[in-house]
Amino acid sequence: MDAELSPDCVRTLYRIIQEALTNAVKHAGATRVAVEARDESGSLKLSVTDDGRGFDPSTPSAGFGLAGMRERVLLLGGSLDVRSGPAGTRIEATLPAG
């Protein structure tokens, strides 16, 4: 990626990774977590995948952590996708570069 990331973007990426890792350890009982960031057509795509027990992301009890992630990403004009099931969880954030 040629463009330098804004401080808000860096902070958002950090918080998403922090929250996803905390959830993987504290709630999911994950033994493996993969974090990947890549430039994709001028956007930054971050994915955090774990092998934990998963959860239903549509339930209100999914917690404030996911809501906070979603809010941070939306404020920067990005999107957040959360997929979870018995084999683990994948959180994918797409943020505009720059």
Query: Hey, what CATH topology would domain 7-96 get?
Result: Heat Shock Protein 90 (3.30.565)
Residue 77 has pLDDT above 90, yes or no: yes
* Confidence (pLDDT) at 92: 97
- CB neighbours of 3 closer than 8 A, spacing ≥ 6? 97, 98
Cβ atoms within 10 Å of 72's Cβ, excluding its own:
21
Per-residue pLDDT tens for 1-60?
556 888 999 999 999 999 999 999 988 999 999 999 999 888 999 999 999 998 887 776
Asked if 38 and 66 touch (Cβ cutoff 8 Å), the reply is no
Is the pLDDT reported for residue 61 higher than 70?
no
Q: Where are the domains positioned within the chain?
A: 7-96
Give 57-64 contacts, CB < 8 A, sequence gap 24+.
57/82, 57/83, 57/84, 63/23
pLDDT value of position 69: 93
The answer for residues whose C-beta is within 8 angstroms of residue 18's C-beta and 6 or more apart is none
